[in-house]
Amino acid sequence: MAACGYGTGVGGLPAAAVTGGLRGFPAALTSFIGREEAVRDVAGLLDQYRLVTLARVLAGQQLLLVLDNCEHVIGAAAQLCARLLAACDEVRVLATSREPLAAAGEARYRLGPLTLPSPGDPAGGERSEAVALFADRARRADPRFALEAAEALAGDGAEAVVLRLVDCSLLSPPRAGPDGRSRYVMLETLRAYGAGLLAEAGEQDGAAAALAGYALRVAEEPALALRLAGALAWWWFLRGRLAGVYRLLRQAAGGAEAGSDGWCAAQLWLGRAAQYSADPAGALGHFTAVRDAVAGRPPSRALTAALTGRAAALRLMGRTAEAAGDARRALALARQIGDPARELLALADLSFDADSAGAHDEAVRLARQAGEITTGIPGRLARLCSYVLTTVLADAGDLAEAARVGAAGLARARDAGDLYN
């Protein structure tokens, strides 16, 4: 929402609206590329019709109030406009929405799409209104702007598709991120819908790998590539894509000094990626490399993570005695350095080890002990405890309690959107 004073100009709209910018807006506007005629039409309508809102604040002021994207709150916007329609004589409201507000006194103006390049004439993009607008805004957001990322995923011709998405308001022009680079912005609901279509087509892993590859190529320095891979790793993990980017993680780790903090972090992620790829032997190799690299150093989270990773991999390989040994060492270290997440994981590993050895009562005790750790851990690990306890209760023959714990854990996971648990 934005407001600006008016009083001179075409049809009650500020003169700058037609000639190149609205005074008083919170962000500077430049020009209405491809919309000059529409601005004049809307300005004429604002002379004849008005919608009023925020009566107490705006009463007696000469303002043009702009309400953008009302479709997200269409009911509330319509009710508000209806209640306040007669409250402010000097206010004009311009509302943009994909559906009418259906409020009294509303005048509707249907805005058609900007012209797009002809599919058979890619070189004609310069004559397209959509291209002109997009290029203008993108250059202002980032003078170096380009569409390399889209082309890395979709190949040649991606530019026209991106421009079409921008024109349909499904994609926003680039905005500068924390690192100074500009990125397109998409609503999470649209992203989820697109991801579903990608998954149905069987192209999800390929697209994720292509995007990650492009990101790592952009990070020209090995150290920057490693930091970027580490930052992306959680995103890949939470979306179930970690296994598909194993080679990219390995590539990023290859430029790091063996034994450095960045190298250890990458090796831990590589171990998890191998584990989720049903390669426990490969995972064991990565976790062991970290254990050996930090063995002579003071106790650290990297060491406890390596030991809990080794314990899980060894258990999957049927080497339960070795797994229990690493899990006990990880538990002691986690308690020593105050790492509740690794303490929980170590207890879960010990519970599974006891379960495999037939010590069902001990397995249940350890699983319940893990579930008592609630401070300083992510919700995902807290929900993992329900899975561990359900499993060992079932193996212990307590099916009723296993069903109760499992149902409660499933409900919590669903509420949190946690597909992993």
Q: How confident is the model at residue 25 (pLDDT cuts 50, 70, 90)?
A: very low
The DSSP code for 9 is S
Greater model confidence, 329 or 99:
329
For 271-287, what is the mean pLDDT?
A: 93
8-state DSSP, 240: T
Q: Are 328 and 350 in contact (CB under 8 A)?
A: yes
The pTM assigned to this predicted structure is 0.52
Contact indicator for 43, 10 with CB cutoff of 8 Å: yes
Q: Is the dihedral of CA 368, 374, 379, 380 positive or negative?
A: negative
Q: Binning pLDDT at 50, 70 and 90, where does residue 30 land? A: very low
**Alpha-carbon torsion, ordered 276, 277, 278, 284, to 10 deg:** -70
Query: Among 264, 342, 336, which residue's Cα sits nearest to residue 298?
Result: 336
Q: For the purposes of burial, counting CB atoms within 10 Å of the CB of 223, is it exposed (0-12), middle (13-18) or buried (19 or more)?
A: middle
DSSP 359-408: -HHHHHHHHHHHHT--SSS-HHHHHHHHHHHHHHHHHTT-HHHHHHHHHH
Closest CA to 1 of 77, 89, 59: 77
Query: Could you give the CA distance from residue 409 to residue 414 in angstroms, rounded to a whole number?
Result: 9
Q: For 297-335, give one letter per residue: b (16+ CB within 10 A) or e.
A: eeebbbbbbbbbbbbbbbbbeebbebbbbbbbbbbebbe
Mapping DSSP to helix (H, G, I), strand (E, B) and coil, where does residue 291 land?
helix
Residue 132, pLDDT > 80, answer: no
173 φ/ψ angles, rounded to the nearest 5 degrees: -55, 165
Number of alpha helices (DSSP H) and beta strands (DSSP E) in the chain: 19, 5
Identify whether the C-beta of residue 349 lies closer than 8 Å to the C-beta of residue 312. Answer: yes
Give the model's confidence band at 33: pLDDT under 50 very low, under 70 low, under 90 confident, else very high: very low
Task: Please give the backbone phi and psi of residue 93, each rounded to the nearest 5 degrees, phi first.
Answer: -120, 130
Give CATH 1.25.40 domain extents, the chain: 332-421
- Edge-to-edge strands, sheet with 2-5: 2-5, 63-67, 91-95
Q: Does domain 332-421 have CATH number 1.20.1050?
A: no
Task: Give Cβ neighbours of residue 265 (< 8 Å, ≥ 6 apart).
Answer: 230, 302
Question: Quick one: pLDDT at residue 295?
Answer: 87
What is the pLDDT averaged over residues 318-322?
Answer: 91
Of the two residues 311 and 63, the one the predictor is more confident about is 311
Q: At what angle do helices 188-200 and 204-218 cross, to 10 degrees?
A: 120
Q: What is the pLDDT of residue 193?
A: 84
pLDDT (average), residues 144-148: 55
